[in-house]
Amino acid sequence: MNFSRYDLTDILDMIRSGSADIIDVNEWFYRKSTELNAKINAYITLIEPAASKENGKLGGLAIAVKDNISTMGIRTTCASKMLESYVPAYDATVIEKLKRNGGRVLGKSNMDEFAMGSSGENSAFGPTRNPRNTEYVTGGSSSGSAAAVAADMAPAALGTDTGGSVRAPASFTGTIGFKPTYGAISRYGLIAYANSLEGVGLLTKSVRDAKLIFRLIAGKDRLDSTSINIAFNDEQPREKISLGVVKSLVKGVTKEVSQSFESSISKLEQNNFIINEIKGISGIEQALNAYYVIACAEASTNLSRYDGIRYGPKGDISTDWKTYIANSRSKFGKEVKARIIMGTYLLSKGYYETYYLRALQVRKNLTYAFESILKGNDAIYLPTMPVLPWKIGDKLDDPMSIYLSDVLTVTPNLAGLPAISIPIGEKRGLPVGGQLIGKYGNDIALLSIARRAEHAMGGKIKNE
């Protein structure tokens, strides 16, 4: 049987009804992955499926897991030579919950090294290629997770999102990318990049799949002090849903993205969505700068542990300590080194107050601004990415243009809000995504709104 026509929810229904067997399902996705991985490079490590069933809602179904999430006994590299041989002795809480509900790990998906990148090109194991056109980037940093879902190499995938790392690849591959409220999913076992911004997210074929998995893995965790409880009341959105559109942000997108976005607004308005234009948000122009200041500062602190003593490959102990540590840290890739250096500079005396503390103030102001907008709207609606996917290698000499592609995705991370990207169109054979940003802690409500929007865009879900 060909399972590419079905989303995860359909497949689980088929398994429960007896029209499909879990062993056959896992074998089909594993075989598809082994056939396509040389072309797409979605996985760093693939796991041959066990020939047995599992109890729980997922019934033994295997999904892709981003390679910065700890998996006991399975190599976890962060797509870096620094951790090339690292095999964790424990599971991340999200993996424990996945297994508790009958889920399995199909493979560890490729990514930008230590989740630092927006294109999927910064992996020590080579770039992930876009299944829609392999000459183009997938978007990052959860590049392999998005590509695996888009290419039918996995029924769903776990990713992580620090400034758009789930939503960007979802937009570029025509999949669903959901970033929950900060802390809604435990971060215990997630190898840290920027603690106050990042979290585990989902990449799926449909919004209902994202909701199904989110319910299984979300919630407070005693091992993560930043985790929170989420209300799972499945309230249906009102007949009329109000969306705030920030005009100043939409103006900065390319003509092709703008055309798809305007077309999507028409479809939404025809399906009981009310569009409220918001002229601007105070301080929004500083959001991207604030994000990179905070992210790089936290990365500098987090990655200081990779010194060949605590973490990282051991070197020649006969050298002096500076040489020893320098040799160990030479394993980092170019982008990671650049962000560590930037973060160290920003935290140094004289610059901490000038940049870091000001970035925190921008973050605080933005949080209040989004809170105010969401008091009068059910969600905020924006394009996910300001540009279409670009060809692999085209922007590597111009990293600033890649950083600028995050301009629409970083704000939910700064404010800790849930956000989701859904497919809204296509230009030149490449997907375009639209992003919905919801209220703090109202993840289920946002997913219900996104499901309505998905249907408005023509997303046909079987058996509904």
Question: Which residues pair with residue 241 across a beta bridge?
Answer: 273
Please pick, among 33, 109, 141, 227, the residue that the annotation labels catalytic. 141
Residue whose pair of structure tokens reads 């056939």 in the numeric block: 35
- 141 catalytic, yes or no? yes
CB atoms within 10 A of CB 229: 11
Cβ pair 460, 205 in contact under 8 A: no
Q: Which amino acid is at 69?
A: I
169 in Cβ contact with 139 (< 8 Å): yes
Burial class (CB in 10 A: 0-12, 13-18, 19+), 310: exposed
Label the pairing between strands 104-109 and 62-66: parallel
Q: Amino acid identity of 58?
A: L
> Using alpha carbons only, what angle is made at residue 358 by residues 353 and 360, rounded to the nearest 5 degrees?
110
Contact 70, 133 (CB under 8 A): no
Contact criterion met (CB below 8 Å) for 388 and 428 = yes
83: closest CA among 319, 398, 311?
311
Q: Which of 162, 136, 125 is nearest to 395 (CA)?
A: 136
Q: Is 123 a catalytic residue?
A: no
Distance CA 210, CA 223 (A): 24
Is residue 372 annotated as a catalytic residue, yes or no? no
Closest CA to 414 of 405, 403, 406: 406
Helix (H, G, I), strand (E, B) or coil at 192: coil
Distance from CA of residue 5 to its chain's centroid?
Answer: 23
- Length of the chain as a residue count: 464
Spatial distance between the Cα atoms of 344 and 107, rounded to a whole number of angstroms:
34
Given 109, 142, 145, 165, which residue is catalytic?
165
**d(C-alpha 146, C-alpha 328), whole Å:** 31
Burial 375-399 (b: 16+ CB within 10 A, else e): eebbbbbbbbbbbbbbebeebeeeb
Burial 172-205 (b: 16+ CB within 10 A, else e): bbbbbbbbbbbbbbbbbbbbbbbebbbbbbbbbb
Give dist(CA 115, CA 110) in Å, integer.
Answer: 10
Which structure tokens are listed for 212? Answer: 């199904």
Question: Which of 32, 66, 108, 179 is an active site residue?
Answer: 66
Residues that are catalytic: 66, 141, 165
